[in-house]
Structure 1
Amino acid sequence: MLTGGCHCGAIRYEISGVPLNHALCHCVDCRRASGAPMVGWAMMTQERLAVSGEPSTYASSEHARRHFCIQCGTGLFYTNDAMLPGLVDVQSATLDEPDELPAQAHIQTAERLGWIAEAHRLPEFERYPPQE
Protein backbone atom coordinates (compact mmCIF):
# COMPACT_ATOMS: atom_id res chain seq x y z
CA MET A 1 0.00 0.00 0.00
CA LEU A 2 1.28 3.45 -0.95
CA THR A 3 0.11 6.53 0.94
CA GLY A 4 0.44 10.24 0.39
CA GLY A 5 -1.22 13.60 0.63
CA CYS A 6 -1.02 17.33 0.23
CA HIS A 7 1.44 19.64 1.96
CA CYS A 8 -0.95 20.78 4.72
CA GLY A 9 -2.44 17.31 5.38
CA ALA A 10 -6.05 18.25 4.56
CA ILE A 11 -6.13 15.58 1.83
CA ARG A 12 -4.70 12.10 2.27
CA TYR A 13 -4.83 9.12 -0.06
CA GLU A 14 -4.02 5.41 -0.20
CA ILE A 15 -3.14 3.38 -3.28
CA SER A 16 -3.86 -0.34 -3.14
CA GLY A 17 -1.83 -2.59 -5.37
CA VAL A 18 0.80 -1.59 -7.87
CA PRO A 19 0.19 1.36 -10.22
CA LEU A 20 -0.08 0.53 -13.93
CA ASN A 21 2.88 2.78 -14.69
CA HIS A 22 4.90 5.71 -13.38
CA ALA A 23 6.04 8.29 -15.91
CA LEU A 24 7.71 11.69 -15.84
CA CYS A 25 5.66 14.06 -17.98
CA HIS A 26 7.32 16.96 -19.78
CA CYS A 27 4.23 18.51 -21.40
CA VAL A 28 3.59 22.23 -21.25
CA ASP A 29 0.28 21.75 -19.40
CA CYS A 30 1.91 19.77 -16.58
CA ARG A 31 4.76 22.27 -16.32
CA ARG A 32 2.43 25.24 -16.10
CA ALA A 33 0.04 23.57 -13.67
CA SER A 34 2.86 22.50 -11.33
CA GLY A 35 5.48 25.20 -11.80
CA ALA A 36 8.05 22.41 -12.20
CA PRO A 37 10.11 21.30 -15.23
CA MET A 38 8.38 17.88 -15.23
CA VAL A 39 5.77 16.01 -13.17
CA GLY A 40 5.81 12.37 -12.05
CA TRP A 41 2.47 10.58 -12.54
CA ALA A 42 1.55 7.14 -11.19
CA MET A 43 -1.44 5.78 -13.13
CA MET A 44 -4.01 3.37 -11.71
CA THR A 45 -7.65 2.42 -11.92
CA GLN A 46 -9.85 4.71 -9.85
CA GLU A 47 -10.88 1.79 -7.62
CA ARG A 48 -7.29 1.51 -6.33
CA LEU A 49 -7.28 5.10 -5.03
CA ALA A 50 -8.98 5.95 -1.73
CA VAL A 51 -9.07 9.67 -0.88
CA SER A 52 -9.91 11.37 2.41
CA GLY A 53 -10.62 15.09 2.25
CA GLU A 54 -12.15 17.02 -0.63
CA PRO A 55 -9.85 18.01 -3.48
CA SER A 56 -10.89 20.93 -5.65
CA THR A 57 -11.01 20.42 -9.41
CA TYR A 58 -9.72 22.60 -12.21
CA ALA A 59 -10.75 21.92 -15.83
CA SER A 60 -7.39 22.45 -17.55
CA SER A 61 -8.84 21.52 -20.95
CA GLU A 62 -12.11 20.26 -22.39
CA HIS A 63 -11.71 16.79 -20.85
CA ALA A 64 -8.74 17.06 -18.46
CA ARG A 65 -9.33 17.62 -14.75
CA ARG A 66 -6.60 18.49 -12.27
CA HIS A 67 -7.42 17.88 -8.62
CA PHE A 68 -5.65 19.86 -5.90
CA CYS A 69 -5.89 20.94 -2.27
CA ILE A 70 -7.72 24.26 -1.94
CA GLN A 71 -5.93 24.93 1.37
CA CYS A 72 -2.27 24.63 0.34
CA GLY A 73 -2.45 24.37 -3.47
CA THR A 74 -0.74 21.00 -3.79
CA GLY A 75 -1.54 19.29 -7.10
CA LEU A 76 -2.61 15.69 -6.46
CA PHE A 77 -4.55 13.93 -9.22
CA TYR A 78 -5.29 14.09 -12.94
CA THR A 79 -8.26 12.54 -14.74
CA ASN A 80 -9.36 12.59 -18.36
CA ASP A 81 -12.48 10.48 -18.89
CA ALA A 82 -12.43 11.01 -22.67
CA MET A 83 -8.84 9.80 -23.12
CA LEU A 84 -8.33 7.57 -20.06
CA PRO A 85 -11.76 6.42 -18.81
CA GLY A 86 -11.67 4.87 -15.34
CA LEU A 87 -8.03 5.82 -14.74
CA VAL A 88 -6.46 8.38 -12.45
CA ASP A 89 -2.92 9.72 -12.28
CA VAL A 90 -1.44 10.58 -8.88
CA GLN A 91 1.39 13.10 -8.64
CA SER A 92 4.08 10.76 -7.35
CA ALA A 93 6.05 13.45 -5.52
CA THR A 94 3.10 13.66 -3.08
CA LEU A 95 3.69 10.09 -1.90
CA ASP A 96 4.89 9.74 1.69
CA GLU A 97 7.75 7.56 0.40
CA PRO A 98 8.25 8.55 -3.27
CA ASP A 99 11.44 6.45 -3.50
CA GLU A 100 9.25 3.32 -3.22
CA LEU A 101 7.95 3.94 -6.76
CA PRO A 102 10.78 4.53 -9.25
CA ALA A 103 9.87 6.23 -12.53
CA GLN A 104 9.66 3.94 -15.56
CA ALA A 105 9.62 6.38 -18.50
CA HIS A 106 9.72 9.97 -19.73
CA ILE A 107 6.61 11.02 -21.69
CA GLN A 108 5.68 14.00 -23.86
CA THR A 109 9.39 14.50 -24.54
CA ALA A 110 8.67 16.56 -27.67
CA GLU A 111 7.75 19.35 -25.23
CA ARG A 112 10.68 18.80 -22.85
CA LEU A 113 12.71 21.85 -21.84
CA GLY A 114 16.01 21.87 -23.71
CA TRP A 115 18.18 22.29 -20.62
CA ILE A 116 16.76 19.17 -18.91
CA ALA A 117 19.09 16.96 -20.99
CA GLU A 118 22.11 18.44 -19.19
CA ALA A 119 20.54 18.99 -15.75
CA HIS A 120 22.45 16.04 -14.24
CA ARG A 121 25.71 17.97 -14.86
CA LEU A 122 24.75 20.95 -12.67
CA PRO A 123 26.55 21.45 -9.34
CA GLU A 124 24.87 19.66 -6.43
CA PHE A 125 24.42 20.90 -2.87
CA GLU A 126 23.05 18.69 -0.08
CA ARG A 127 21.54 21.81 1.49
CA TYR A 128 20.92 25.25 0.04
CA PRO A 129 22.20 27.71 0.81
CA PRO A 130 25.40 25.73 1.36
CA GLN A 131 26.30 25.26 5.02
CA GLU A 132 29.82 26.01 6.19
Structure 2
Amino acid sequence: MNNIVDGGCFCGTVRYSFESNNYPSSNCHCSMCRRTSGAAFVSWMAIPVTSFKFNKGEPKKLVSSDHGTRYFCKECGTHLTCLLDEYPKYVYITICSLDKPQDFEPKGDMYVEDMLDWVKR
Protein backbone atom coordinates (compact mmCIF):
# COMPACT_ATOMS: atom_id res chain seq x y z
CA MET A 1 0.00 0.00 0.00
CA ASN A 2 1.34 3.42 -0.95
CA ASN A 3 1.83 6.23 1.52
CA ILE A 4 -0.39 9.26 1.10
CA VAL A 5 1.16 12.72 0.88
CA ASP A 6 -0.92 15.73 1.95
CA GLY A 7 -0.73 19.39 1.08
CA GLY A 8 -2.78 22.52 0.74
CA CYS A 9 -2.93 26.25 1.00
CA PHE A 10 -1.78 28.52 3.80
CA CYS A 11 -5.27 29.20 5.21
CA GLY A 12 -6.55 25.60 4.96
CA THR A 13 -9.38 26.33 2.52
CA VAL A 14 -7.95 23.97 -0.12
CA ARG A 15 -6.42 20.57 0.69
CA TYR A 16 -5.11 17.85 -1.60
CA SER A 17 -3.43 14.45 -1.43
CA PHE A 18 -1.64 11.98 -3.68
CA GLU A 19 0.02 8.58 -3.53
CA SER A 20 3.71 8.88 -2.70
CA ASN A 21 6.25 7.74 -5.26
CA ASN A 22 9.54 8.88 -6.75
CA TYR A 23 8.00 11.55 -9.00
CA PRO A 24 10.03 13.95 -11.16
CA SER A 25 10.62 17.36 -9.62
CA SER A 26 12.53 20.54 -10.40
CA ASN A 27 12.88 24.24 -9.76
CA CYS A 28 11.39 26.28 -12.59
CA HIS A 29 13.05 29.61 -13.34
CA CYS A 30 10.75 30.71 -16.20
CA SER A 31 9.42 34.24 -16.13
CA MET A 32 5.81 33.05 -15.86
CA CYS A 33 6.48 31.05 -12.68
CA ARG A 34 8.44 33.95 -11.22
CA ARG A 35 5.74 36.47 -12.04
CA THR A 36 2.74 34.45 -10.84
CA SER A 37 4.44 33.42 -7.59
CA GLY A 38 6.38 36.57 -6.78
CA ALA A 39 9.43 34.38 -6.11
CA ALA A 40 12.76 33.77 -7.85
CA PHE A 41 11.63 30.28 -8.88
CA VAL A 42 8.95 27.68 -8.13
CA SER A 43 9.65 24.09 -7.09
CA TRP A 44 7.31 21.67 -8.85
CA MET A 45 6.63 17.93 -8.72
CA ALA A 46 4.83 16.05 -11.51
CA ILE A 47 2.09 13.78 -10.13
CA PRO A 48 -0.01 11.45 -12.32
CA VAL A 49 -3.55 12.85 -12.41
CA THR A 50 -4.81 9.39 -11.45
CA SER A 51 -2.90 9.62 -8.13
CA PHE A 52 -3.95 13.19 -7.21
CA LYS A 53 -7.15 14.59 -5.73
CA PHE A 54 -8.44 17.74 -4.07
CA ASN A 55 -9.97 16.74 -0.72
CA LYS A 56 -11.29 20.10 0.44
CA GLY A 57 -12.24 23.32 -1.29
CA GLU A 58 -11.99 24.25 -4.92
CA PRO A 59 -9.02 26.27 -6.18
CA LYS A 60 -9.38 29.31 -8.41
CA LYS A 61 -8.29 28.83 -12.01
CA LEU A 62 -5.93 31.13 -13.92
CA VAL A 63 -5.30 30.48 -17.60
CA SER A 64 -1.76 31.81 -17.51
CA SER A 65 -0.83 31.05 -21.12
CA ASP A 66 -2.10 29.36 -24.24
CA HIS A 67 -0.59 26.08 -23.00
CA GLY A 68 -1.12 26.05 -19.24
CA THR A 69 -3.54 26.67 -16.40
CA ARG A 70 -2.58 27.44 -12.80
CA TYR A 71 -4.68 26.87 -9.69
CA PHE A 72 -4.45 28.73 -6.41
CA CYS A 73 -6.47 29.35 -3.26
CA LYS A 74 -9.04 32.09 -3.81
CA GLU A 75 -8.86 33.05 -0.12
CA CYS A 76 -5.12 33.26 0.68
CA GLY A 77 -3.56 33.15 -2.80
CA THR A 78 -1.32 30.12 -2.27
CA HIS A 79 -0.19 28.70 -5.62
CA LEU A 80 -1.04 24.99 -5.63
CA THR A 81 -1.01 23.29 -9.02
CA CYS A 82 -0.54 23.70 -12.74
CA LEU A 83 -1.84 21.74 -15.70
CA LEU A 84 0.09 21.81 -18.97
CA ASP A 85 -1.63 20.98 -22.25
CA GLU A 86 1.56 19.26 -23.47
CA TYR A 87 1.51 16.78 -20.55
CA PRO A 88 -2.17 16.03 -19.82
CA LYS A 89 -1.44 12.95 -17.70
CA TYR A 90 0.24 15.02 -14.97
CA VAL A 91 -0.70 17.64 -12.44
CA TYR A 92 2.22 19.76 -11.27
CA ILE A 93 2.08 20.59 -7.58
CA THR A 94 4.10 23.29 -5.84
CA ILE A 95 6.42 21.42 -3.50
CA CYS A 96 6.21 24.15 -0.85
CA SER A 97 2.44 23.69 -0.59
CA LEU A 98 3.08 20.19 0.80
CA ASP A 99 2.68 19.64 4.53
CA LYS A 100 6.27 18.31 4.60
CA PRO A 101 8.13 19.98 1.70
CA GLN A 102 11.47 19.07 3.28
CA ASP A 103 10.81 15.45 2.27
CA PHE A 104 10.74 16.29 -1.47
CA GLU A 105 13.95 17.98 -2.60
CA PRO A 106 13.80 19.09 -6.26
CA LYS A 107 16.07 17.01 -8.48
CA GLY A 108 17.09 19.73 -10.91
CA ASP A 109 16.45 23.10 -12.51
CA MET A 110 14.66 24.05 -15.69
CA TYR A 111 14.66 27.25 -17.74
CA VAL A 112 18.09 28.00 -16.29
CA GLU A 113 18.63 30.45 -19.14
CA ASP A 114 15.94 32.60 -17.47
CA MET A 115 17.42 32.25 -13.97
CA LEU A 116 17.92 35.56 -12.21
CA ASP A 117 21.59 36.50 -11.95
CA TRP A 118 21.49 36.69 -8.15
CA VAL A 119 20.13 33.14 -7.71
CA LYS A 120 22.98 30.84 -6.66
CA ARG A 121 23.57 27.86 -8.90
TM-aligned CA deviation for residue 41 of structure 1? 0.2
Aligned pair partner of 1:70 in 68, 74, 78: 74
**Helix, strand or coil at the partner of 2:11:** coil
Q: Deviations over 1:1-48 (max 9, x none)?
A: 211100110000111131521101100000000000010001011111
Q: Deviations over 1:41-60 (max 9, x none)?
A: 01011111110210110000
In 2: Cα distance, 1:97 partner to 1:7 partner: 13
Name the aligned partner's letter for residue 91 of structure 1.
Answer: T
Q: What is the match of residue 26 of structure 1?
A: 29
The answer to whether residue 109 in structure 2 is matched with residue 106 in structure 1 is yes
Structure 2: runs of 5 or more not aligned? none
Structure number, greater radius of gyration = 1
Q: What is the match of residue 88 of structure 2?
A: 85
CA contact (8 A) 1:41 1:90 kept: yes
Q: How does 1:1-132 map to 2 (within 5 A)?
A: 1-52=4-55, 53-81=57-85, 83-117=86-120
TM-aligned CA deviation for residue 117 of structure 1? 2.3
Structure 1 length normalisation: TM-score? Answer: 0.85
CA contact (8 A) 1:25 1:106 kept: yes
Identity of aligned residues (%): 33
In 2: Cα distance, 1:96 partner to 1:105 partner: 21
In 2: Cα distance, 1:104 partner to 1:19 partner: 11
Q: Indicate the RMSD between aligned Cα atoms, in angstroms.
A: 1.1
**Helix, strand or coil at the partner of 1:110:** helix
TM-aligned CA deviation for residue 96 of structure 1? 0.4
Structure 2 length normalisation: TM-score? Answer: 0.92
CA contact (8 A) 1:19 1:44 kept: no
**Structure showing the higher strand proportion among its residues:** 2
Structure 1: runs of 5 or more not aligned? 119-132
Which runs of structure 1 show a deviation greater than 2 angstroms over 4 or more consecutive aligned residues?
Answer: none
**Structure showing the higher helix proportion among its residues:** 1
